[in-house]
Amino acid sequence: MLIEELTKNSQEDKVLFNVMEEMVRRTVDEKIETMDMCKCEICRLNACAIALNALPACYVTSRRGNLLAYVSGEMLNFKSQVLVETTKALLMVKNHPLHDAK
């Protein structure tokens, strides 16, 4: 689930949120535009899965209203690591698009 969906409801509810997933989704969407490869939803999700398996999980519990601030803080700590793993994952999907096998 993306952070925009999480934060549009009650600001006071406590939520469990994997910051790493949010970061990887955003980075995949950004990086895939700069690469000469298929940009379909399946390739995006496959790249997310590969990158997330290579990265540590980073769960936080927070009030919905605080999530955005929390996430931006955590993003700085992991930025270069996420970029490296996301780029590797995108190259893997580019070379072996999984949706070609029917």
| Residues in touch with Zn ion (CB under 5 A) | 38, 40, 42-43
Give the tokens for residue 98.
Answer: 């999984």
Q: What element of type H or E holds 73?
A: helix 67-95
Give the span between the Cα atoms of 90 and 93, in whole angstroms: 5
Q: Which is nearer to Zn ion, 4 or 41 (CB)?
A: 41
Q: How far is the CB of 97 from Zn ion (least distance, A)?
A: 5
- For Zn ion, the closer of residues 12 and 36 by Cβ is 36
Nearer to Zn ion, 8 or 102 (CB): 102
Residues 69, 61, 79, 82, CA torsion sign? negative
Q: How far is the CB of 8 from Zn ion (least distance, A)?
A: 29
